[in-house]
Structures are given as C-alpha cells and as structure tokens.
Structure 1
Amino acid sequence: MPLLQSKQLYSSMDLSIRKELPGMLSKMATDHQLDALIMPSFTLVHGYRTKVQAADYVYAMLALLETPMQDKKPSDCFLDAAYCLSRQNKNLLSEGIQSAKKFLSSLFKTVQSILDMKQVNNAGPFLYMFVQEGTVDYKYYSKPHALSLLAMFTLKAYVASSIGSRTRNLSKPLVASAPLDALAETCLMIGIPPVSEVIPRSFFGKAFEQAADKTGSRVRFDYFDSSIVSIHKADRHKFIDALYSLLM
C-alpha cells in the first residue's frame, strides 16, 4: 500500500485500495502467522458515513475512559465514554478512535523498547517488569486496562522471542507495574496468567493479599479485579520477593 494512502483516513483512501485491503491483510496474517489479525464484528451503518465496527466502539470507549490527561476528572471521562455511544456524538466517537490509535501505536513502541532493553526479569516461578517513570508515554499505563494490555502483549512477545527457554516461559505468569501517582509515590501493579492457559485464570488476587500481609507493604485493593492493586513504590521490591517465596 502506498505510504500516502496509509496516512489518510479510511474513508478518504482510494476506493480500489479499500476493496483490496481485506485481502492484503489476510495475506499478511498468513505470512506472519497472525491468526487473530482479522476478527468478526457487528457493523453500524449510519447514512452515508463510514461503517463503524463494534470493536471500534470498544476501543474508543476505553481510550476516552482511560485518558492520560491528568487534569480530567474520572467522572468526566466516564461520561465521555458513555456519550460516545450516541449517534449524535460522532465527533466524540472519532476523538476516542483517534486516541485509541495513538495508544496502540504507543503500546507497540513500548513493548518493543521493553524487549530491546531486556526489562522483563525472570523471578523463577513468574516474570516481572516495571515501566519506569520518565519513559515515553508512561502515563498511559497508570490505568488498569492499559497496563493489562501492555502486560499481555509484552508476555506474548517475550515468549515468542525466547530462544531456548520458550517452553519454560509458556507456563510463567507476568507481574507488571507502572507509576500511578508521583506525589503519593504509588504504583499500579497487575498480575496476568501464562500464555499457555487455554482459559486464562489469574491466581494473583490471593497471592497479592498474602504477600501484602507477609511484608506489611502499603497495598490498596481498590479495583474490582483483585489481581490489580496500587502499591507504594518503596515496597515494590520486597513485595516481589514475597511473591517469589509464595509461588515457589
């Protein structure tokens, strides 16, 4: 595809390229063994506007809900995510889609940087990584869903790129952490199951509780998912050490 065309909105691309795009993507998926590159989805058609997939709404809502803008209240983010579902708020939906595209681009670059700099650490029974404060776009990952996506893509990429230890790493979960509040010196931490899990189930909720009790770490379980916690930055390393002891 010509670079000039790829930089345009889909609705502005040449009609012949738009028709050929599904076939081009299918061929790329086969060549690069990307089984889930194309996924089935419901489609909304509103007049002569560009078709919108259900997946587009999901990514747009998440981008609006988990905006990295520090001056925006969580309640306003929630309302934006809800209002973008209305057909009358197509500009808000477009804003969410553009934000989602920026985030996914950042996600790819961040995963690539983590692997290049060898920031995934092997703790024996599990892997762990920390997103450092000051890293480009690190504020994206102070949100639960964004950090979980980063953790999942990093784990899959790490396992796929492992030479000689791929089989062992297939069965290892990952703990990921990123800065949450610089003033309070807190971090967000999440645990995700191994790549080999057919039905992903995270046991980190109970492990996090036990590690917090064992070390006296300043941990808050403020999220619906108990495998997502906030922890004081100074307690992070001893918390990881406690997890190692529990999971051995």
Structure 2
Amino acid sequence: MDLQLRKEFHEVLEKLSEKYGLQDLIYASFTLQYGYRNKYCAADIVYALLAILEASPRDKKPEELFNLALDCLSRSKRDVLDSAIERAKIIVKTLFTTAQSALDLKQVISAGPFVYYIIQEGCLDWYMFSHLQILLLLAHFILRAYVAVSRNRKAPSLPLVVSAPKSLDAGTCIILGIPPLCENSPKNFFGKAFEKAAERINCDSKCDYFDTSYFEIHTKDRTRFFDALTALLS
C-alpha cells in the first residue's frame, strides 16, 4: 500500500463513517509484530481462529481443528495464520452477500413481536451458518441492515430470530435470537422464551451451549415453534 494512502486511510474512514452513520468502524486494539514481519491486529487473530473452528471442511474432526487453532497462535507457523485470515475474508464476504440477498428478496419477515430470517437447506453456504458465532455475526448484520432500510418505525425495537440447518441427516435446525438494536443491555431473554415455546408444542429440543439463545430443534417442528414463540411474545 502506498505510504501516503496508508497515512490518510483512517481519516478517510472516519469521514465515511460519519456520512453513512457507521459506528465503531475504527476502534482501539492490540497489534502483534515479529521484527520487521507483517503486523497483525488482535481482531485478525480472532477472526482467523473463528474461521478455523467454524468454517473448516466438514470432514475435519473437532480435535484437529483445536490443534490447528493452537498452531495459528504459534510464531513458527505463520502460514497457518495467513491461510486462516484468507478464509476469514471469505466469511465476511459471505455474510455480506447473504444479508444483501435477504433484504433484496424480502426474506426478513415480521412475525409481530419479532422479525425472523430462515436460511434454507439449498443455500450454497448453509453449513457455514450451522455454527454459533458465524450465525451470530450474520444475525447482527442482518438486523442492523434491516433497521437501516425498513420503513417500519418499530424496527429498532424488534428483536431478530434466525434459523439455519444444523444437520441434514438428523433433520435438525438451529434457532438463534438476538435483542433489538434499541436495547443496550447484554441480556438476552430468548433462552427462556425458546424453552417455553418448545414446552408448549411438546417438541424435542437441545440447548447444550453457554448461550441459551442458541437452540436446536427438528426442522419439521420449526413452523409450530415459531407460532408458539409469536403467541408467547405477543
């Protein structure tokens, strides 16, 4: 990158962020540099680890991914980190195209007390969204984009529920809920709401994650689950 362009880059981004209402586009962070080699931002490492753990080929075993993530943190295996960063770039591009498609095709649907978006099994990158963190990134991106373009005045106060296939063989899908943009609290009420909705329709559910707003049910029960959730939150 040209030295002059590098010096002016942050200033240009700040001007664009004000013009388009983009918040936290530039933020303080830690950097890692070995001598005169490439400098890495802390966020680069985070997204690289995310790419390894959640966007690797499906035939990789969890223990292989864990060891690969450890290699990503090693000084002597910079090629692993660089490869993971490139994969993370693909994730970001996929998030953008998926969110853009969801809005263009009007696939973000209002259910009254919340809006929801369903990733279909035929989606090209559906497997990428069967993991918690990548699906969470997509959910936040879609909700922000939806609020920005929606004519509904209540849009900032509506939470979002996203669903994606989990296992085609088992016929299961995952449900993830995030609070509305107008709420600054990190609390998420969807965990309890999901449990009650599952109890109402008496369906099998699974929640073996630290984040209780990440729920797994059978795909055939999803429509009834959404109906129960709508009635519960109305």
Normalising by structure 1, report the TM-score.
0.90
User: How much does 1:59 deviate?
Assistant: 0.8
Number of the residue aligned with 1:53: 41
Equivalent-residue separation in structure 1 for 2:225 and 2:56 (angstroms): 27
Aligned to 2:19: 31
1:1-248 correspondence runs (5 A): 13-163=1-151, 165-166=152-153, 168-248=154-234
Answer yes or no: is the 8 Å Cα contact 1:142–1:178 preserved in 2: yes
Shift of 1:102: 0.6
- Distance in 2, Cα, partners of 1:197 & 1:74: 35
Contact 1:111 1:150 in 2 (8 A): yes
CA apart distance, 1:21: 2.0
CA offset at residue 111 of structure 1? 0.2
Unaligned runs of 5+ in 2: none
Q: Deviations over 1:112-171 (max 9, x none)?
A: 0000111111111111110011223222101111111111110111011111x13x1111
Counterpart-to-counterpart distance in 1, 2:38 and 2:99:
31
Report the residue type matching 1:172 in the other structure: L
Alpha carbons 1:68, 1:139 under 8 Å: kept: no
CA RMSD of aligned residues (A): 1.3
> SS where residue 166 of structure 2 aligns?
strand
What is the CA distance between 1:246 and its match in structure 2? 1.0
How far off its partner does 1:28 sit? 1.9
Q: Is the 8 A contact 1:67 1:77 kept in 2?
A: no
Unaligned runs of 5+ in 1: 1-12
